[in-house]
Amino acid sequence: MNIGVVGVNHNLAPISIREGVSFTDLQKIEAINYLLDKEIEEVIILSTCNRSEIYIQSKNVDEKVKVVEDFYATFFDKPDVKEYLFVKTHREAIDHIYKVTAGLDSIVLGEDQILGQVKDAHEFSMQLGASKKKFNKLFREAITTAKEIKSTTKISQQPLSISYIGVKFLEEKLGSLEGKNALVVGVGKMSKLTMKHLEEEKINTIYVSNRSHGKVKEIENDFKNVVPIEYADRYKILNDVDMVISATASPHIVVRYDEMPKVERKIYMMDIALPRDIDPKINELENIEVYDIDNLKEIHDKNDQKRKELANIGYDMINKSIDEFVEWMDSTHIDPTIESLNDKCLEIREDTLDYIFRKLDLDTREKKIIDKMMTSALKRLIREPIINLKQTKDKGKREEYIKLVEELFEL
């Protein structure tokens, strides 16, 4: 099938290697032109934070992938990159393109972002004339299939991040988070993600407390509903909130049992830190329920398993689409024969019309009528052979027919 892919991704290469072979747009242009000059017919480069991959379509693709391997080492001046390069050719390469596009080769199974990145990579190459008939067909089919997988399975809607699952867990407990108030302890990555998810649920106010109060001030402008709270005052706000979410990097408890005030309203506390931030004994207090990562792990594992089950449906859809693409690719082998037949007909038409117009005194209208009749007759002559060639599924027979047509018509 003359299709190959060479590159590095999160499956085999550490970030120190991936970042060293990441392409800028200018580098993509330079690389594509270089590879086209090496008699590679089509090139697409996909460069993201998790992968740097070059897709090629060419005759002798098994030889051309070696050209791409050498290119990686010399272009980025990183000879050791070859230790981390993967190479796939023919159907295996096509399968890789489909799985990447559908998010089934991503760190987070079924993630959405890669679909747009593949579309952008394809469009970039099309603008340079480096993606032509075969890659245009392949990548459009991969993109269409990815959309169908996401629409059919809803795989991207199965949450996996602990912060997201924690927020959804609290939403289930409270019925809705809209108009509610929360206290978030910590301003690290997990806490910021939690605040983002809380805002998406239209929460009213997010009180934020951190040992270093300056860090709270730094993120205040990143979120609409954040109200900074001094770390020493974190207990004073408890009777004004519906939930507490703690995600610090502290090695010890930051919400202590013996410092808890009497709580007059129902509060749910979500501890997503490890080691834990919230004293488990607080669960014994009236009006308070404390949950931790172990409570969320079961939900996470179920969602992860669900994604894997949905991915299997996606694989079946991909295999069906690949079968159709491979059949289409096989049918393109007759394109040169069809083109030669059309050229033959054009030659006959021009010679015949030239002879008729020399022998007969015809006006412009009569010449046009004869031209149309001649063209129509020649098209009818080759129409059936072309249809039969396209409909022949057996590769051996198709090759025999192509050879026979070329001999009979002296193509």
Query: pLDDT tens digits, the chain, 411 residues: what are they?
Result: 799 999 999 888 887 888 889 899 999 999 999 999 999 999 999 998 789 999 999 999 999 999 999 999 999 998 889 999 999 999 999 999 999 999 999 877 888 889 999 999 999 999 999 999 999 999 999 999 999 999 999 887 766 678 888 998 999 999 999 999 999 999 998 899 899 999 999 999 999 999 988 888 888 788 888 999 999 999 999 999 999 999 998 989 999 999 999 999 999 999 998 889 999 999 999 999 999 988 887 777 777 788 889 999 999 999 999 999 988 887 777 777 778 888 888 888 898 998 899 888 889 899 999 999 988 888 888 888 777 777 777 777 777 777 777 777 777
The number of residues in the chain equals 411
CA-based nearest residue to 184, from 163, 169, 168 = 163
pLDDT of residue 403: 78
**Does 256 carry a binding-site annotation?**
no
CA-based nearest residue to 229, from 261, 186, 279 = 186
**Does 186 carry a binding-site annotation?**
yes
CA distances from 170 to 114, 186, 289, 404 (A): 30, 18, 11, 72
Architecture of domain 3-157: 2-Layer Sandwich (3.30)
Distance CA 271, CA 243 (A): 11
Half-sphere exposure in the Cβ direction for 151 (13 Å, CA): 7
Half-sphere exposure in the Cβ direction for 105 (13 Å, CA): 22
Instruction: Name the residue type at position 75.
Output: F
Distance CA 243, CA 178 (A): 12
What is the CA angle 222-226-230, rounded to 5? 115
Instruction: Name the residue type at position 375.
Output: T
Distance of CA 398 to the CA centre of its chain: 36
Task: Provide the pairing of β-strand 42-47 with 205-209.
Answer: unpaired
**Does 358 carry a binding-site annotation?**
no
Catalytic residue among 11, 30, 39, 49: 49
**Does 112 carry a binding-site annotation?**
yes
Q: What is the dihedral of CA 384, 388, 389, 390, to 10 degrees?
A: 100
Distance CA 373, CA 31 (A): 50
Answer positive or negative: Cα dihedral of 312, 314, 320, 325: negative
**Does 194 carry a binding-site annotation?**
no
Whether residue 270 contacts residue 246, with contact meaning beta carbons closer than 8 Å, is answered with yes
345 is catalytic: no
**Does 158 carry a binding-site annotation?**
no
pLDDT of residue 285: 96
pLDDT of residue 303: 76
> What pTM, to 2 d.p., does this model score?
0.64
List the CATH code of the domain at 162-286.
Answer: 3.40.50.720
**Does 187 carry a binding-site annotation?**
yes
* H, E, C per residue of 352-410: HHHHHHHHCCCCHHHHHHHHHHHHHHHHHHHHHHHHHHHHCCCHHHHHHHHHHHHHHCC
pLDDT of residue 82: 92
Collapsed DSSP state (helix, strand, coil) of residue 53 = strand
Domain ranges of the chain: 3-157, 162-286, 331-408
pLDDT of residue 185: 97
Whether residue 386 contacts residue 338, with contact meaning beta carbons closer than 8 Å, is answered with yes
Distance CA 268, CA 168 (A): 13
CA-based nearest residue to 152, from 339, 317, 345 = 317
**Does 342 carry a binding-site annotation?**
no
CA-based nearest residue to 261, from 296, 294, 291, 285 = 285
Whether residue 31 contacts residue 75, with contact meaning beta carbons closer than 8 Å, is answered with yes
Whether residue 133 contacts residue 293, with contact meaning beta carbons closer than 8 Å, is answered with no
Distance CA 71, CA 79 (A): 10
Please count the other Cβ atoms lying within 10 Å of the Cβ belonging to residue 256.
Answer: 13
